Amino acid sequence: MATLEIRDLHVTVEADNATKEILKGVDLTVKQGETHAIMGPNGSGKSTLAYSLAGHPKYTITGGTVTLDGEDVLEMSVDERARAGLFLAMQYPVEVPGVSVSNFLRTSATAIRGEAPKLRTWVKEVKEAMERLNMDPSFAERNVNEGFSGGEKKRHEILQLELLKPKVAILDETDSGLDVDALRVVSEGVNRVRESGEVGTLLITHYTRILRYIKPDYVHVFSAGRIVESGGAELADKLENEGYEVYTKGGSVSGANSEEEVA
């Protein structure tokens, strides 16, 4: 069973000619088949966690460890992390002019699987996955994310998730900018992957609406760069009713002292 273990993770970023500590000791374990929701106010460090795990060069790891199946993730390059089984669905997917979706997907699958998928079976696999996400087949010949709407970009992220079958999927505010219909389709895609029991999911979100479609096993509240409370799905209901104020206004939760929220 694949396991992502984060221990006492500290991360800084350079901003306004100063070094700011964003993550201040994060501890989290995500096992294959589990779904963990990370929730918290804007600026609490949720996306910093996602991009630090993926290896974004903007963020500097100053302490702690991250392992996947016992292997040191922090010693891996970005592409090595992807091949090891880490997947990041970005909040703001980037455009890649000159690279078609079909070429991008097949090249990615080749890197992950170690050999190129047989063309006939691959075309069928992609077509079926696109149909499940209500994507027009013509998208396969368009440049990656170029001219895509917000919802189309998010569907493309989940298309990658379904085809690449990672060990751990980090979904950074996948619900951001989606209307109700797109949210339902994207959530169904995530649930199909979850139902296989082969993927651990780290779902980062600010709002609870996506959790109406994707039921987490665990919910963690992020504030001022660390996890300040953990619980089951019922914790999301508490946040829906009470908000994050108790975590950002000097309250003490689960033995952790609140700090000034990171901008």
The answer, yes or no, to whether residue 248 has pLDDT greater than 90, is no
Q: For residue 15, what pLDDT band results from cuts at 50, 70 and 90?
A: confident
What is the pLDDT at residue 1?
Answer: 78
What is the pLDDT at residue 259?
Answer: 32
Average pLDDT rounded to a whole number, residues 114-135: 93
Distance CA 155, CA 168 (A): 18
The answer, yes or no, to whether residue 253 has pLDDT greater than 60, is no
Mean pLDDT of the chain: 90
Distance CA 252, CA 14 (A): 29
Quote the radius of gyration of the chain (alpha carbons, Å).
18
What is the pLDDT at residue 17?
Answer: 85
Q: For residue 250, what pLDDT band results from cuts at 50, 70 and 90?
A: low
Distance CA 222, CA 132 (A): 33
- Summarised one tens digit per residue, pLDDT across range 223-236 is 999 999 999 999 99
pTM over 0.75: yes
Distance CA 137, CA 116 (A): 21
Q: For residue 196, what pLDDT band results from cuts at 50, 70 and 90?
A: confident
Average pLDDT rounded to a whole number, residues 193-216: 92
| CA distance readout (Å), 19 to 16, 22, 52, 78 | 8, 9, 16, 23
Domain ranges of the chain: 3-96+167-256
The answer, yes or no, to whether residue 104 has pLDDT greater than 90, is yes
Average pLDDT rounded to a whole number, residues 149-172: 94
- Summarised one tens digit per residue, pLDDT across range 54-84 is 999 999 999 999 999 999 999 999 999 999 9
Distance CA 208, CA 47 (A): 16
3-state SS, the chain, equals CCEEEEEEEEEEEEECCEEEEEEEEEEEEEECCCEEEEECCCCCCHHHHHHHHHCCCCEEEEEEEEEECCEEHHHCCHHHHHHHCEEEECCCCCCEEEEEHHHHHHHHHHHHHCCCCCHHHHHHHHHHHHHHCCCCHHHHHCEECCCCCHHHHHHHHHHHHHHHCCCEEEEECCCCCCCHHHHHHHHHHHHHHHHCCCCEEEEEECCCHHHHCCCCCEEEEEECCEEEEEECCHHHHHHHHHCCHHHHCCCEECCEECCCCCC
Class of domain 3-96+167-256: alpha beta
Quick one: what percent of the chain has pLDDT higher than 90? 76
What is the pLDDT at residue 262?
Answer: 34
